[in-house]
């Protein structure tokens, strides 16, 4: 690792998401990771409230945005990547396996005309790719399991592990979305926990168990010792069993069908129709039956 990244997290209580600004203190250059575009499913309204707060912070700190990064196509919020690209001119990026995710969701949405390709982002990262944020070296780890396109960004002494690991008292990510895999998740977690013990890990969500205040930073050592799933599962088979039993009890995220049609297109909203209005498409019964009780 090289250098210490300056990391600031921004918690969104509506979606329990954490957005990040990671900066190189020496050059004042930064990247924005997993930005949220506000969406109210009751009214259908969209607003850049959280994204604009990130821009206000960047301006107040005298930072220059070099990258807008997503760790995966999110199921619980709309990505503000395209909005922020328009505001900053910074390139957007995500993992290259997003093309496979596009194919899955284009089928679910019955969008044969929608291309599954790289065009919605400026760069698609492969496992092991390296790039820079100022003078900080950043590298990409392919971390499938939660989704088949998930990646981890290792920036200096910090790693952004998205939904692979939550805080130690919250365990690990679900792996039952289309393209997800509990077995892949186990191997991704083992790779992350092979980083140096002192590596700071920044998670993508915090659901505040017991009503505690939101948290999003831990270390490799803390996760290995105290994560409620990893510390009690000695083998892949044990973990897969724990994860599958847990996933069977979870409802789908309330915005999954809204978000994936936007997030598999780089955060771009659907084009306006003849009346000038944009429409999201909700496929009926696409993700199985809920627990109606």
Structure token digits, residue 123: 């760069």
* Residue span of the structural domain in which 219 resides: 6-263
> What is residue 1's predicted lDDT score, i.e. its pLDDT?
38
Residue 53: C-alpha distances to residues 12, 115, 177, 191, 197 (Å): 11, 32, 30, 33, 33
Residue 181 in this model has a pLDDT that exceeds 50: yes
pLDDT digits 0-9 by tens, 239-264: 999 999 999 999 999 999 999 999 99
- Quote the pTM value: 0.95
Count the domains in the chain.
1
Residue 98 lies in a domain: yes
Residue 108 lies in a domain: yes
Residue 271 lies in a domain: no
pLDDT digits 0-9 by tens, 83-136: 999 999 999 999 999 999 999 999 999 998 887 888 999 999 999 999 999 999
CATH number of the domain enclosing 169: 3.60.15.10
Structure token digits, residue 260: 């994936």
> Is the Cβ–Cβ distance between 220 and 198 less than 8 Å?
yes
DSSP state letters, 275-291: TS-------TTTT----
Mean pLDDT taken over the chain: 95
> Is the Cβ–Cβ distance between 87 and 80 less than 8 Å?
no
> What is residue 101's predicted lDDT score, i.e. its pLDDT?
96
Residue 97 lies in a domain: yes
Is 111 strand, coil or helix? coil
Residues whose CB is less than 8 angstroms from the CB of residue 198 and which lie 6 or more positions away in sequence, other chains included? 157, 219, 220, 221
Residue 176 lies in a domain: yes
Structure token digits, residue 237: 């088979």
Residue 36 lies in a domain: yes
């Amino acid at each position: 690792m090289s250098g210490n990244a300056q990391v600031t997290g921004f918690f969104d209580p509506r979606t329990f998401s954490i957005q990040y600004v990671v900066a190189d203190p020496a050059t004042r250059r930064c990247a924005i990771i997993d930005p949220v575009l506000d969406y109210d499913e009751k009214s259908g309204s969209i607003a850049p409230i959280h994204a604009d707060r990130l821009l206000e912070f960047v301006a107040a700190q005298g930072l220059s945005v070099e990258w807008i990064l997503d760790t995966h196509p999110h199921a619980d919020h709309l990505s503000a990547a395209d909005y922020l690209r328009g505001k900053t001119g910074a390139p957007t990026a995500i993992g290259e396996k997003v093309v496979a995710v596009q194919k899955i969701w284009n089928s679910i949405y019955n969008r044969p005309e929608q291309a599954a390709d790289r065009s919605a982002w400026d760069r698609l990262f492969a496992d092991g790719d390296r790039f820079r944020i100022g003078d900080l070296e950043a590298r990409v780890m392919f971390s499938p399991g939660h989704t088949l396109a998930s990646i981890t960004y290792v920036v200096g002494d910090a790693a952004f592990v998205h939904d692979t690991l939550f805080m130690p008292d919250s365990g690990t990510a679900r792996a039952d979305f289309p393209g997800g895999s509990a077995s892949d998740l186990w191997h991704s977690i083992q790779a992350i926990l092979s980083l140096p013990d002192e590596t700071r890990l920044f998670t993508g969500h915090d659901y505040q168990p017991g009503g505690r205040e939101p948290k999003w930073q831990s270390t490799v050592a803390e996760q290995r010792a105290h994560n409620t799933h990893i510390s009690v599962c000695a083998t892949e088979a044990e973990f897969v069993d724990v994860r599958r039993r847990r996933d069977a009890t979870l409802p789908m995220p309330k915005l999954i069908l809204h978000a994936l049609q936007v997030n598999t297109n780089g955060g771009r909203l659907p084009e306006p129709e003849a009346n000038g209005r944009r429409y999201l498409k909700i496929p009926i019964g696409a993700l199985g039956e809920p627990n109606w009780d």
